[in-house]
């Protein structure tokens, strides 16, 4: 399907399933090398990262632990600029190697907030692995952004975990608004 409609909004295909899976395999290879001999705690940021997180960890052959946390900064297609509270950040991350898995970094506000909270708990290291990054939209520097699947233009995207007003997360492909 090249075009889809979600809640009266039109989207066109942007990154197909094969491109996404190929890129994830490469990210997995990188993480396997970088974390060899370690035991990272991989923290997925819900809801958007759930498919990416599942596919990414299947590529890992290192010892790793999995956790999820949740927050929200979006309503419709516009960032609210406000961050809601973090839920479910694992306790006892002091001294751990943390890999935060995100669906997308847009302005960087959300991930900066997560990083600030995590840094307060003194992990040994913290890095961010985001499937998508919108470099043109970035307003907050994120030096911890160690792994990025795709750099994309400042368009609204949906699919593969990302929603438009709650819909579209179950698509294998990523679409952009037309
Ligand atoms: P930031 O705080 O970096 O501006 O926004 C990050 C969060 O906003 C992401 O985790 C995601 O939930 C949402 N977001 C940003 N850009 C998009 C987009 O193009 N599509 C969708 N569906 N969500 C987005």
Assess whether pLDDT exceeds 80 at residue 82. Answer: no
pLDDT band at 62 (very low <50, low <70, confident <90, very high): very high
pLDDT (0 to 100) of residue 169: 97
- 143's CB contacts (< 8 A; 6+ apart) are none
Residue 98 lies in a domain: yes
Would residue 18 show up in a list of annotated catalytic residues for this protein?
no
pLDDT (0 to 100) of residue 126: 98
- How remote is the CA of residue 158 from the centroid of ligand 1, in Å? 10
> Domain total for the chain?
1
Q: Which atom of ligand 1 is nearest the CA belonging to 134?
A: 16
- Mean pLDDT over 167-177 rounds to 97
Distance in angstroms (rounded) separating the CA atoms of residues 49 and 161: 6
pLDDT band at 105 (very low <50, low <70, confident <90, very high): very high
Query: Residue 167 is encoded by which pair of tokens?
Result: 């819909």
Residue 2 lies in a domain: no
Read off the CATH number of the domain in which 170 is found.
3.40.50.2020
Q: For residue 99, what are the domain limits?
A: 7-31+39-72+79-177
- Mean pLDDT over 156-173 rounds to 97
Distance in angstroms (rounded) separating the CA atoms of residues 7 and 64: 39
**Residue (of 46, 121, 57) closest to 87 by Cα position:** 46
Cα–Cα distances (Å) from 87 to 43, 46, 52, 140, in that order, read: 12, 10, 20, 22
Q: Indicate which residue of 106, 154, 165, 173 is catalytic.
A: 106
Contact present, 67 and 42 (Cβ < 8 Å): yes
- 5-36 confidence digits (pLDDT tens): 999 999 999 999 999 999 999 999 999 999 99
pLDDT (0 to 100) of residue 81: 57
**Residue (of 10, 101, 3) closest to 56 by Cα position:** 101
């Amino acid at each position: 399907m090249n075009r889809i409609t979600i809640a009266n909004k039109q989207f066109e295909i942007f990154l197909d399933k094969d491109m996404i899976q190929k890129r994830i395999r490469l990210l997995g290879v990188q993480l396997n090398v970088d974390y060899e001999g370690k035991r990272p705690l991989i923290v997925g940021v819900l809801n958007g990262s759930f498919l990416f997180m599942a596919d990414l960890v299947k590529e890992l052959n290192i010892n790793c632990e999995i956790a999820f946390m949740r927050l929200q900064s979006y309503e419709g297609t516009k960032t609210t600029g406000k961050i809601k509270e973090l839920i479910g950040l694992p306790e006892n991350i002091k001294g751990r190697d943390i890999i935060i898995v995100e669906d997308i970094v847009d302005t960087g506000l959300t991930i900066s907030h997560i990083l600030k909270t995590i840094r307060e708990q003194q992990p040994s290291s913290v890095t961010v692995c985001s499937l998508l990054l919108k470099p043109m939209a970035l307003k907050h520097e994120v030096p911890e952004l160690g792994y990025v699947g795709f750099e994309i233009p400042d368009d609204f995207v949906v699919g593969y975990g990302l929603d438009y007003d709650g819909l579209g997360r179950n698509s294998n492909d990523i679409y952009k608004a037309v």
